[in-house]
Amino acid sequence: MPQRTTLPGRTAARTAAIIGATHELLREVGYEQLSIDAVATRAGASKTTIYRRWADKRALVCAALLDRSVSAPELPSGAHDLREDLMALTDLAAALADQEDVPGFVSLLAAAQKEPAVGEALRNGALDPMRRNCRDVVQRAIGRGELQDAALSDVLFDLVLGQVLARSVVQGKAFTTDVREHFVDTVLLHVLTQHA
């Protein structure tokens, strides 16, 4: 019964192609200009296939954002102290703020002002990996005895997200290694370890 074993794999591959095409087009043309037509062409899928699974563009984009959360890279586990983990964390954040992704992100933020579902998917999908990584950094530091307060995870998230937004998204400045080191040493470590 080859169909039974092949079909799920084929469906998964087709889904991956559609989600991938959606991400590419978000990056290239933004939410407003993205069309199901263009996604279908790019993914080599029929529009019917897409509409059978997602009701409209918004649903497809939200699914793509949530998918990114699942496939995002995890924080590497080799760090010896809080500082090393913070450097790894800001390295992942810098990749997220890659200048090529900024227009797509901003177009989603603009769409979110009118469509709450997009805002929800943006917060829960696109930003979840960063939130999860912040939590892991704080938990590991607790494990090493460097920190005690698990709630610092939220403070860390606001600071890292804020720095990426203020520097990369609004001011268009790169989040280079030098800048990240300065940020980790003069801001993050000071704020996190003040009560340690």
CA dihedral angle for residue 11, residue 17, residue 22, residue 27, rounded to 10 degrees: 160
Task: Collect all residues with Cβ–Cβ distance below 8 Å to 146 and sequence separation of at least 6.
Answer: 81, 82, 193, 196
Q: Looking at beta carbons only, is 10 or 190 nearer to its own copies?
A: 190
Q: Which of 14, 142, 165, 181 binds its own copies (CB under 8 A)?
A: 165
- C-alpha–C-alpha distance, residues 45 and 178, integer Å: 44
Residue 170 interacts with its own copies (CB under 8 A): yes or no: yes
Q: Looking at beta carbons only, is 50 or 111 nearer to its own copies?
A: 111
Q: Which of 19, 122, 137, 147 binds its own copies (CB under 8 A)?
A: 122
- C-alpha–C-alpha distance, residues 96 and 22, integer Å: 17
- What is the footprint of its own copies within residues 95-114 (CB under 8 A)? 102-103, 106-107, 109-110, 112-114
- What is the footprint of its own copies within residues 38-97 (CB under 8 A)? none
Residue 162 interacts with its own copies (CB under 8 A): yes or no: yes
Contact characters 132-161, its own copies, x per CB under 8 A: -----------------------x-xxx-x
- Can you read off the two tokens belonging to residue 53? 């699974």
- C-alpha–C-alpha distance, residues 128 and 113, integer Å: 19
